[in-house]
Structure 1
Amino acid sequence: MPRRADARRRQIVTDNLRRLVDAGLSVWRDDPAAVAADPPAGTGLVLGADAVRAALADPAATEGDDGDDAVRRITTAVARRAADALLPAYHAAGGRDGLVSVEVDPRLADDVDGAVAEARRVVDLADRPNVVVRVFAAEAARELLAGGIGVEVALVSAPELMRAALDTVREGLDAAEGFPPALVSVPVADVDTEVDKRLWAIGTDDSARLRGTAALATARMTYAAYENALRAPAWGRLTASGAPKPRLVWTATQVRDPYYLETRYVDELVVSGAATVLSPATWRAVVEYGEPRGDTVHGTYEEARQALDRLTDIGVDLPDVHRVIRARSVARSVAGWQRVRDAVAATRRQPVG
């Protein structure tokens, strides 16, 4: 009986993932242990502070000149292991999948020169072709791409931010000798979290009815901006010369409101060519009761535009929402990496033997 149950569970996993993949959506993870244990269960990894803390059990990993040096060594060691596990996917997809995106020190989010220098150190230490760096400043992305380093431009949470990010990516690729991979990542759940809070503050029946509409509408319109930007003649010339189009990656796909279906930010954002990053909790939800049903982005743009218009009409300042999302996300990342540094410092203070 247990064997039948195990077989049925594997079939569920296979079926649900196959539906996503058949629709052209790549499944990435934020859990390096899962990627290392079962590479086919995820074809990319976004590596942040929480995942890095798991590597602190190895005392040798904390050796270094200072706390930042030790954290960098730990992070790149985790990235190397994941990159090695994903290398077959990287080669099979021609460099489009199988990537490991390593977050650069978020304290440098607004320090272009500092972020570029740190990103180069990370890439040199990782020493794997499928490691890219996750940066918050588009200007840093331009310089890194021009220097041949693959980049994820993070926190591209709105259509206007997507247009600006793609302009920057194109300028970097134009100046590059080769064609390093480029990603633009769109946080999803953060939008509902911030907008719903504002709708509660408005406190009317109309505002209550709009709860839960912002994230999907914004993500879909951001994808529309992505598509439209890549149709520009400048992108046509670049891709004709051999440059791959930058890949859009959905991040922050774990719901924060217990009243929302756990798989909504996956099932409702299935579109060919994109990737979605799943936390362990969202992975389990998708495996157990996700309902992938093909493309759920194309054909939704007019409805999404109307949803955003309704939010604006009721008094939600959407540009301010995205400013808050960026500031809060950077602050959260800074706090996460500080916890890693604190843990490293505590480990280094422990007596040996």
Structure 2
Amino acid sequence: MNFNVIIPAIIELLIVILSIVVILLSIAYATLAERKVMGSMQRRLGPNKVGIYGLLQPLADGGKLLLKETVIPAHANVGLFLLAPILTLSVSLFGWMVIPFNNTTVIFDTPLGVIFILAVSSLGIYGVIFSGWAANSKYAFLGSLRSTAQMISYEVVLGLIILTVVFCLGDSPNLSQIVISQQAIWYIIPLAPLGILFFISALAETNRPPFDLPEAESELVAGYFTEHSALPFAFFFLGEYSSILLISTLTVILFLGGWLTTFDMYLSNALSSFILGLKVSFIFFSFIWVRATFPRWKYTQLIVICWTSLLPLVLGFVTIVPSIILTLT
């Protein structure tokens, strides 16, 4: 046996498993943080019974969903019905492979990190389509159609904004290089309008209020996962919040300097990861803040603003920003 090959492979596998555990724990406590912050904004306590200050509430919720019976509709396509939540969670976790947590820590450091994230995020649509069609329910089917149209529409805007940031880098679309290129100035300062448009599009891409039309309770019960319960529902839930944290991290990397501070100083890997976590927490807090502030839009408004307002604006920036860069260089 060639231990020089096996041992590094085992170490890499352990790192991947540890990363998945950390991400899942972050997702679990992100849900608790949202409920606590929403409770404070609405002048109530939020979860506070399970554990000290409700800190064990995510574990209790996960145990409840794990122990409940999985109910499958009689006329559902069982294979696709069970595959959809697994695909949704898997795709949302794949995106974390190319996220740099500090200057040296990244699971899969590829020069095409941005392209990888865009490709993986586009695959998440299949889980939504499968869940709506396989359930054989009109509410789930309408929710999946809404979500598919919404995600495809706003992926165009997100992709063009990311392309503009890559133009500023002038190199391969590697996420670590994008962070390092912001040592002099974070991109949120010269590209502030694009940062705002990216945040708005991120809300729509992750089906967050006020753009949570695929899950409109008053119209579609719960949207594309109306018929899913127990563990499949937990997979959808984890996949949704994993996507929220992923796009929050991507926002920090593209516009807020990633793990960098405003001071030109050397930081340890642990401190760099902590700074990245603080910035991601701020973006996630902004997601919660928007949810507690704005009412849900109409679906027609959501699609119209994408194709008639956001997309022309972003196309204008895609033309102007490279022109300015060429002029100055």
TM-score normalised over the length of structure 2: 0.35
Higher helix share: 2
TM-score normalised over the length of structure 1: 0.33
Point out which structure has higher relative CO (alpha carbons under 8 A, 6+ apart): 2
Higher strand share: 1
